Amino acid sequence: MVFDARSASGSRSRRDATRPAAGRRPRSAAPSSEPEQDQEPDPVDLTQDEPATEVEAEEGPVTLRLDGKVALVTGAGSPDGIGYATARRLRDLGARVAIVSTTRRIHERASELGVTGFVADLTDEAEVGALADAIADQLGDVEVLVNNAGLASRTSPEVLRPVAQLTYDEWRAEIDRNLSTAFLCSRAFVGGMSEQGWGRIVNLAATAGPINALPTEAAYAAAKSGVVGLTRALAMELVADGINVNCVAPGTIYTAASTVTEIKQGLGTPIGRPGTPDEVAAAIAFLCSPAASYITGQMLVVDGGNSVREAEFR
């Protein structure tokens, strides 16, 4: 089914984008208003095992499977990109996958993967709200969210300019594309995850910004650093609701959009080559899985060891 959020966003979304349904799991009943009588505590028997509590992990082996879970991967329009590789992995793990990009080519990717495609501008609040409604109608509430959108495109090219020459509009475009998209999508879907008491959010950061930086990329570096901050704040806000929030920071990854300079940078890593989208997708898929239940608020770097090396030995 073809869905374009731009045509649907004109009508008011059923969801209030500024106030997502905050459905924290019910806690134990409130204490009685009657005064408690003084009682001596029972003696503690240190020879017995600790009683089970609700904070203990569920019994049974951990699993990578996502059978029946609804997963959304943003920025999946390129057939050789990280988003596409991630959608394929989540599909193979049993998830019911939705993918979204800004152009109708997403329907070609959806057909190739056997998943559902949506068109939406994720920097537009109204279109994100319309997208959330459409996914809920067709697939159900999103339980796994991968905020991968942010790659530059022909209609919105990457801005490479020193700060002194950077216009405010160019700055805002980079921040919106790489950070605001993650904020708007996370806000749109955390309410449903909270109501279910389970969820996974994985944001795509980068080594540029959180770890290092290059001249002329200040806006991009600032946005990706902001992704890490957003990830950690969300992780602390949502941990009581069974939602884990993490981010993955790729280094030099080889795609069709890679420049000769970027490929040479990849050859200079300790591993000796650029990474692949599927290698990044493998890290993302793990953090999306039930097996990552004790990991939240973390940044996983996927860069072939490049950020670890202090100097190149010859």
Cβ neighbours of residue 87 closer than 8 Å, sequence gap 6 or more: 71, 73, 76, 97, 99, 109, 113, 115
Catalytic residue among 84, 168, 220, 254, which? 220
| 263: exposed, middle or buried (Cβ count in 10 Å: 0-12, 13-18, 19+) | middle
Task: Count CB-CB contacts under 10 A for residue 157.
Answer: 9
Is 220 a known active-site residue?
yes
E-state strands within 26-147: 70-74, 96-101, 116-119, 144-147
Which stretches within the chain are classed as H helix? 5-8, 82-92, 106-113, 125-138, 168-175, 181-196, 218-238, 260-267, 277-288
For residue 14, give both structure tokens.
């059923």
> Which residues does residue 56 pair with via DSSP β-bridges, in sequence order?
none
Please list the active-site residues: 220
